[in-house]
Amino acid sequence: MRTRISSTQMHGALVERVESISGQDVLACNQCGKCSAGCPVAAAMDMLPSQVIRLVQLGLDEALDAQAIWMCASCLTCLTRCPKGVDLPRVMEALRQMHLRRGEERLAPEALAPETVAELPLMALIASFRKMS
95 part of a folded domain: yes
Predicted pLDDT at 7: 46
d(CA 56, CA 27): 9
Question: 72 and 25: one domain?
Answer: yes
d(CA 57, CA 131): 23
Residues 6+ away with beta carbon under 8 Å from 126: none
Kindly report the CATH number assigned to the domain that includes residue 47. 1.10.1060.10
In one-letter notation, the amino acid at residue 104 is E
38 part of a folded domain: yes
d(CA 68, CA 63): 9
- Compute CA distances 25 → 56, 69, 85, whole Å: 11, 18, 9
1 part of a folded domain: no
Question: 73 and 114: one domain?
Answer: no
Question: 28 and 41: one domain?
Answer: yes
How many separate domains does the chain show? 2
Predicted pLDDT at 3: 57
Predicted pLDDT at 84: 96
CA 79 from chain centre, in angstroms, equals 13
Question: 68 and 117: one domain?
Answer: no
Structural domain containing residue 75: 7-102
Predicted pLDDT at 110: 74
Question: 128 and 67: one domain?
Answer: no
Question: 14 and 55: one domain?
Answer: yes
Global pTM reads 0.72
In one-letter notation, the amino acid at residue 34 is K
Predicted pLDDT at 34: 96
Question: 45 and 66: one domain?
Answer: yes
**pLDDT, block means (10 residues), the chain with 133 residues:** 55 88 95 95 95 95 93 94 96 92 69 81 74 61
